[in-house]
Amino acid sequence: MVLSVGVAVREAAATLVSAAPNDAAEARADAEILLAHVLGKDRTWLFTHAGDPLDAAAAACFDALVARRRAGEPVAYLVGQRGFWRFDLEVTPDTLIPRADTECLVEQALARLPNDRPLRLLDLGTGTGAIALALATERPRANVVAVDLSPGAATVARRNADRLGLAARVEVREGAWFAPVAGERFDLIASNPPYIEADDPHLAEGDLRFEPRSALASGADGLDDLRLIVRDAPAHLRPGGWLLVEHGWQQGAAVRALFDAGGFIEIGTERDLEGRDRITLGRHPA
């Protein structure tokens, strides 16, 4: 039987919601994103062509993606991209999927970056390049170094920089945290490092099951990488430079204590879109 576009979305949404009860809106959105991807259209097109027949090849491809989503694979990996800031980014299983909370880090960084002079910025654990590319987009006089330990993630970040026309100002380097920038100093360092406790049961649930564990978990209390970053950042900041890090919603006090022990001033924690502690920042003394 030939299904229409609208019926295909409705049936797929019903299939997905059966795997995640009480999340009908997300199931509908997932179905629309997957079908739009298969057809090479946007979601608005699906509404205006709801009565169009869905050909057999497209239907088979759509059904396969819906089955994988029902098994838990993240939509971003299935379609190979995720929106962040003002652009779409390529994502792969080598990278963490960019999230809206990290846009809060970008906003806080931009509030501390002048727009009238050259800047050197550092993004640690860049993944897709999300933070680095957003900062480079909004500060045209900035040059950004983006670091990631994963060769696969670094490759994705480079492709995103190329596609957005930012490769001349965003240099992606491979290595562990500050190792690729030995002896260099920056006006601002930003990082969304791993911060989940290694034995947190959420790592075995939802999308997190498919994302790289090395980009999520960091020791027994989730703070191992944050300790290293806060400890070593002063040696890589210019006087008056800022460090901003993303962290778990229950880690604000602990991360502020790390900043205080590291000699930072003007320390504060900003909240995410749901009003939870998410971004801690501090300034290196001038």
pLDDT given for residue 231 in this prediction: 97
pLDDT of residue 219: 76
Six token digits for residue 154: 């670094």
222 Rama sector, left if φ>0, alpha if ψ -120 to 50, beta otherwise: left
Q: Where are the domains of the chain?
A: 5-71, 90-283
Instruction: With CA atoms as reference, report the closest residue to 254 among 222, 285, 215.
Output: 222
Residue 63 CA to residue 57 CA, distance in Å, equals 10
**Which tens digit of pLDDT belongs to each residue from 192-242?**
998 887 776 776 677 777 777 777 766 788 899 999 999 999 999 999 999
Can you give the pLDDT at residue 18? 82
The predicted pLDDT at position 21 comes to 63
- The tokens describing 183, both together, are 């002896």
What is the homologous superfamily of the domain 90-283 according to CATH? Answer: Vaccinia Virus protein VP39 (3.40.50.150)
DSSP letters spanning 60-79: HHHHHHHHHHHTT--HHHHH
| Fold classified for 5-71 | Helicase, Ruva Protein; domain 3 (1.10.8)
**Alpha-carbon distance 132 to 123, whole Å?**
6
- 3-class state of residue 268 by DSSP: strand
Give the pLDDT of residue 256: 97
Q: Give the pLDDT confidence score for residue 195 in this predicted structure.
A: 81
For 1, the token pair is: 């039987």
Backbone angles phi, psi at 119, to 5 degrees: -135, 150
| 242's tokens | 């800022």
User: What are the residue ranges in the chain where pLDDT is below 70?
Assistant: 1, 21-22, 200, 203-204, 217-218
pLDDT digits (tens, 9 = 90+) for 44-66: 999 999 999 999 999 999 999 99
